[in-house]
Structure 1
Amino acid sequence: MSLIQNRKVEIIPNISVDCVIFGFDNTTKSLNVLLIERVLKLENTKDAIVNDYVLKGFHTYENETIDDTANRVLKELTGLDNLYKKQFNVFGDPNRLKNEKDVIWAESEHFSERTITIAYYILLPTDIVQLENQYNPQWFPVNQLPELGFDHEKIIAEAYADLKEDALSKPIVFELLADKFTIKDLQDAYEAILGVEIDNRNFRRKLITKKYIIALDEKQTGVSKKPSQLYMFSKDVYQKIYKESYLINI
């Protein structure tokens, strides 16, 4: 075995990747963010000197691309891969980790206080994530976030702003839904992202004319009210007819 094969893979100490994982909850009709608890206790006591929530992230390994690191974050936190993700910004303010709690945390974890973070956001339906793992992740509504560590409030805010802009010109809303959905599910997802109410009839009229939204010979099951028609999004059809035009106009 060569010396290169024997060499331990090292992290790049001042480059990290944070992932804002957005999930749409079709039961509560809310857009949520997946966070983990950050707790640091004094030695031999139960007192926590750091107790808040953060995005999950990792330092990049020397042999990884930045995309590889983002995929690793997603896989370790959710067990999933091959989901929609977008690199939307880089956060490198020299003072971004200078808060007292962040300094304490960085020292305990041997992190560099001058860390540059490449940020991604990822889209998925909340019900495909198993929350029982070593990180104990929790979903929080994007507009009702808990106390956050580092500059993660800023990172989430910028991710959300980017998502809202892209949702009006790209078909990324379908990444938040099941493969089969109702027009009402689609409307609920748009309303959760955009934070507005959409007129039902106008929305339905506009959406059902889109050739890439395919009506299925199926209806909802297990509902108490009259079951609604199910649809699917055809990426193939979309790519064939795509042009620069908004999916919906608010």
Structure 2
Amino acid sequence: MEELDKILNISVDCVVFGYDITTKSLNVLLIKRFLESENKKEILVDDYVLTGYHVLNKETLDDTASRVLKELTGLTNQYKKQFKAFGSPDRLMNEKDQIWIKSEGFNLRTITIAYYFLLNTEEVDLKKNKHQAKWFPINTLPILGFDHEKIILEAYEDLKVKCLREPIIFELLPDKFTINEVQDLYQSILGIEIDNRNFRRKLINKKYIIALDEKQIGISKKPAQLYMFSKDIYDKIHKTNYLISI
């Protein structure tokens, strides 16, 4: 890609959140950042970072974010939110960051616009991923480059607030889900214990939670009822109050 196509001091960084139903874990998708000395006798940089790239001259910020996600995951049309700009003068001044920037020819004074995406971890095939991407639980992040830990944690705080006001958590679940899976997801995001009986009653009474004539398959114990979220119904009855009181 020609340097002239890039806006060299503006980038977009993407926090990709994914939920793993099996481990009941909210995860972040990160890529490997690795650099050796020219003689390959010394490892100069070995950590993880968010996926991001410079904004191209003919792109909107949303275009750049969507391009970055597609290159990382192969996915399009996922839920995304632009939540903050990060432009501190010292955000790229760590020693390892300086080494990396010099090797890549990046601009030392780069402002990044941060987005987060929501998806199901099963939607991403990591075996064929050229970036050595890997899921990490939000509470056990690895060593991160740049100011990416700060970006991730601020995205997480925004997600916690937003999941109580809008039905975005269903972006992290399969199309068909159980009530327990919804509760597990809320608990994973918010880091709290929720009363099971009270939660079930409130959720089932929501008109946009549709009971299906289906139950779980491949379950040794008693299979649970499956439900789906109807965005059409939600949009019609949407009010400014919380999606659900927990």
Q: Same fold (TM over 0.5)?
A: yes
Q: Can you list the C-alpha shifts for 1:72-108, whole angstroms capped at 9, x where unaligned?
A: 1100000000000000000000110011111111110
SS of the aligned residue for 1:173 comes to: helix
SS of the aligned residue for 1:108 comes to: helix
Q: Describe how 1:88-237 pairs up with structure 2 within 5 A.
A: 88-131=83-126, 132-237=128-233
SS of the aligned residue for 2:92 comes to: coil
Distance 2:36 2:4 in 1: 30
User: Match of 1:47?
Assistant: 42
2:32 to 18, 33, 37: 37
Q: Could you tell me how far 1:247 is from its partner in structure 2? A: 2.1
Distance 1:49 1:240 in 2: 55
Distance 1:182 1:8 in 2: 49
User: Match of 1:3?
Assistant: none
Q: Can you list the C-alpha shifts for 1:52-88, whole angstroms capped at 9, x where unaligned?
A: 1000001011111110100011000000000000000
Q: Can you list the C-alpha shifts for 1:145-193, whole angstroms capped at 9, x where unaligned?
A: 0000000000001000000000001000000000000000101111111
Which amino acid in the other structure matches residue 245 of structure 1? N
SS of the aligned residue for 1:157 comes to: helix
Paired residues of 1:32 and 1:141 also in contact (CA < 8 A): yes
Paired residues of 1:182 and 1:231 also in contact (CA < 8 A): yes
1:58 to 34, 53, 75: 53
Which amino acid in the other structure matches residue 240 of structure 2? E
Q: Could you tell me how far 1:8 is from its partner in structure 2? A: 8.0
Distance 1:49 1:156 in 2: 24
Show structure 2 runs of 5+ residues with no match.
Answer: none
SS of the aligned residue for 1:69 comes to: helix
Distance 1:208 1:151 in 2: 41
| Alignment partner of 1:74 is 2:69 | yes
- Give the alignment's TM-score, normalised by structure 1: 0.96
SS of the aligned residue for 2:122 comes to: helix
SS of the aligned residue for 2:145 comes to: coil
SS of the aligned residue for 1:23 comes to: strand
Which amino acid in the other structure matches residue 194 of structure 2? I
Percent of aligned pairs with the same amino acid = 68
Show structure 1 runs of 5+ residues with no match.
Answer: 1-6
Q: Could you tell me how far 1:248 is from its partner in structure 2? A: 2.3
User: Match of 1:4?
Assistant: none
| Alignment partner of 1:85 is 2:83 | no
Matched residue count: 244
- Give the alignment's TM-score, normalised by structure 2: 0.97
Q: RMSD of the TM alignment (CA)? A: 1.1
Paired residues of 1:9 and 1:63 also in contact (CA < 8 A): no
Which amino acid in the other structure matches residue 28 of structure 1? T
Q: Could you tell me how far 1:249 is from its partner in structure 2? A: 2.2
Closer/same/farther in 2, CA of residues 61 and 227 from structure 1, 3 Å limit: same
Distance 1:197 1:248 in 2: 15
Q: Could you tell me how far 1:136 is from its partner in structure 2? A: 1.4
